[in-house]
Structure 1
């Protein structure tokens, strides 16, 4: 009866947390960066917190205590008569700095939201099922631009100074359901279906100021709303050439099929009079393609150590050949050609657990993690590529002696655009993240919690 009540409480908690987290995901700004002004915004780092604390590695990770969101082949690692549930929260601080006309400007913004909800369970011997709900990308920015009075300009010479306000927010969320099957000893394959949905709003307002203060110019506002809903797929493989009681070496790879997102875009332009009179209304489709992605890596484990390296390639540039112009042209070179580009990212991570089953020292049962990630942003500005990197760290705290269930805490520090920002006048961005994750393992291996075993006595 006690086990039954525990299971019921867990299911009720999931039923409450999932809708609340989804509402939070779609109603708040989860990123704050001018680099989210185009496309689907900033990509979130995939993986549960133990993986993200190790730089984001995990395509080759096989673990009974970590839900693998990178490779569906890992779903086959779940033991029979068990259940693994994961939930994560993440807070971020963004700091953006830019030098304009020898004047340094900066902004800071904090966000907080859920990062992942996931579970993994067995269906049959060597066959596992996995599910996850995670944010895929986020949009969030607010910026201003002033077009100063120029008497030689035939238009602005009569209008005067004009202020442009740009802002946007929204998210793209991924739901994934997959199967992992150990086809033969130490070799597994997996397939997953991915559903993407979300809404992104972008607004710009132009406010003229009369030269003499006697003009009657009104502001103009444009509103674009992107609505996305599509299904994609993923396949994965894992092989362990070394698997014994002392060490495990696993190599893995995953391929995301990608394809057209085909966002439906509603456009509206209206003037700021008493009636907000519409100047233009319309619907269109945006040519935007989710890239094909190839991830490959290895993961090595002993009783105390774990180490992994991943390489990720995304063909954003080959899939999206269009571009946009931002800013205004002129002697100040404030106009930039924004285009997608192919990206490569390298991830490396390390985990150390002094003594997982030490009955005398609680701290020796903790898992200590660190990692590093380096690559490029998926958009170029006047063909300049923006380098970005992140340094990560974290700990995993078991909830009790010999438990697989754990509470994880992780931090991440990252920078973007530092390689070209000063030279071409772009924003230098840095961020700090702190996250908490909860992993619940239920099964006969954890302190006698036989949730899926038939009792001998009622």
Structure 2
């Protein structure tokens, strides 16, 4: 009964992930939107580490080789609530968004391998920007930029031990979704407004390979290292772009007057090679400290998909450090001794240079910084847990008329473990 219920939840929440809006950031204007790192709530609460981390109870989205350590069937679902404050010059604005971040299943395959599959947001577009032009004290022109949609990642991952201490893994993903962008311009003393609208369907595959190695040191210390590489992949973008004039009726709905053009648009987004390396030290089920270093090349586009002077792609990188501590995992006297306490930091150059003036002469790299803490709360009489994470971060800058974001994320996940999911029942 429980397994059927969980599978039903998996189907329903998968539909919700595809349909939701995941971002309220103006930086989702660029390219295919704000990119999401594939991380569990547990990982993000430790700054986003995971390249070298081994865990028998939780999934690891960073390195497919970690699937070899699964010893229990695991169902994981995670979501987040984001509070966003935007600053541009002397002006500020607030917003928020709520989203599911992943639904995944994982289970051991024999004693030396594991498999996982699930769905996650890959990128998200969700912005609404307004530009006003004044002549003296009179408002003479308004331009509104809006965007919605995004892409999702359906993945399958497998890892196995090839000999004692060394595990290898591979992952295949299918990326799909739809993105819409529009620019509405209205001028005083002009009866008709004009609107540009673009709609693109994104499709493509992606492959990742990883390796992990663990060795035992003195005093039960374990040293682990890991690396993963995501190969270059080409995402096709097909759709159309329109330019038309319009008026607004009494209810505020658009009434199209003349269509100036409606043409097909097609191109390719080449997602770059991304590599991540990690090392960690700890005692199993007691404490762990790890670092990650990630590098990625610049995104490449064809056929004029990026025809804006306001931004361009560049290479990016990310550094993360974090870990966990469990006072006493099997404590009977104190519940809080069984709680997992997590913390971490990350510093990221996201791979985009932007110019708020729109001239392309003052392109500035966009950086991101985050401080994370979290807890893993064990469920009574089970090996499952509820994970709660908090993140404070800053993205962007006020330089060159750009926007600076201050955000606070609340993240929640449920990690259900069982060693009985795949045991055949003797009585039905």
Mapped to 2, the partners of 1:179 and 1:245 lie a distance apart of: 32
SS state at 2:332 partner: coil
Q: What is the CA deviation profile of residues 159-213 of structure 1, one whole-angstrom value per residue up to 9, with x for unaligned ones?
A: x922211111111111110211211111111111111011111011111112xxx
Aligned match for 2:351, one of 378, 395, 398? 378
Instruction: Report what 1:332 is aligned to.
Output: none
Quote the residue 2:67 is aligned against.
75
Give the equivalent residue in structure 2 for 1:52. Answer: 44
**Alignment partner, residue 95 of structure 1:** 85
Say whether residues 1:304 and 2:286 are aligned partners: yes
Match 2:328 to one of 355, 377, 394: 355
1:85 equivalent in structure 2: 75
Aligned partner (choices 6, 10, 15) of residue 10 of structure 1: 6
CA distance in 2, matches of 1:13, 1:34: 32
Match of 1:157 in 2: none
* Residues 59 and 253 in structure 1, CA contact (< 8 A), matched pair in contact too: yes
- Give the Cα–Cα distance (whole angstroms) in 1 for the partners of residues 180 and 91 of structure 2: 26
Which protein has the bigger strand share?
Answer: 2
**Alignment partners' CA distance in 2, 1:118 and 1:451:** 15
**Structure 1 CA distance for aligned equivalents of residues 320 and 182 of structure 2:** 36
| Aligned match for 1:368, one of 313, 337, 341 | 341
Q: Residues 264 and 451 from structure 1, CA distance in 2 versus in 1: closer, same or farther, beyond 3 angstroms?
A: closer
Give the counterpart of 1:127 among 107, 113, 123.
Answer: 113
The alpha-carbon distance between structure 1 residues 17 and 424, as it changes in their structure 2 partners (threshold 3 A), is: closer
- Secondary structure of the equivalent of 2:415? strand
1:12-65 per-residue CA deviation (whole Å, 9 max, x = no partner) reads: 332333323433x3xx3x212222212011112321111010001001111111
Q: Structure 1: how far apart are the matches of 2:174 and 2:186?
A: 40
Superposed, 1:203-352 pairs within 5 Å as 203-210=182-189, 216-242=190-216, 246-273=220-247, 274-302=255-283, 303-316=285-298, 319-320=300-301, 337-352=310-325
When normalised by structure 2's length, the TM-score is: 0.90
Matches of 1:16 and 1:259, distance apart in 2: 29
| Alignment-derived partner of residue 409 in structure 2 | 433
> Which runs of 5 or more structure 1 residues have no equivalent in the other structure?
151-159, 211-215, 327-335, 444-449
Structure 1 CA distance, aligned partners of 2:335 and 2:417? 19
In structure 2, runs of 5+ residues without a counterpart are 248-254, 355-361
**Mapped partners of 2:134, 2:425: distance in 1:** 79
Question: Alignment partner of 1:286: what SS?
Answer: strand
Please identify the structure whose Cα radius of gyration is greater.
Answer: 1
- The RMSD of aligned alpha carbons is 2.2
Cα contact 1:293–1:313 (8 A) shared by 2? yes
Contact persistence 1:240–1:249 (CA under 8 A): yes
CA contact (8 A) 1:320 1:340 kept: no
Q: 1:156 — aligned with what?
A: none
What is the CA-CA distance between 1:120 and the residue it aligns to? 1.2
Between 255-264 and 434-443, report the one with greater CA deviation.
255-264
| 1:455 Cα offset (Å) | 6.1
What is the CA–CA distance in structure 1 between the aligned matches of 2:256 and 2:70, rounded to whole Å?
A: 61
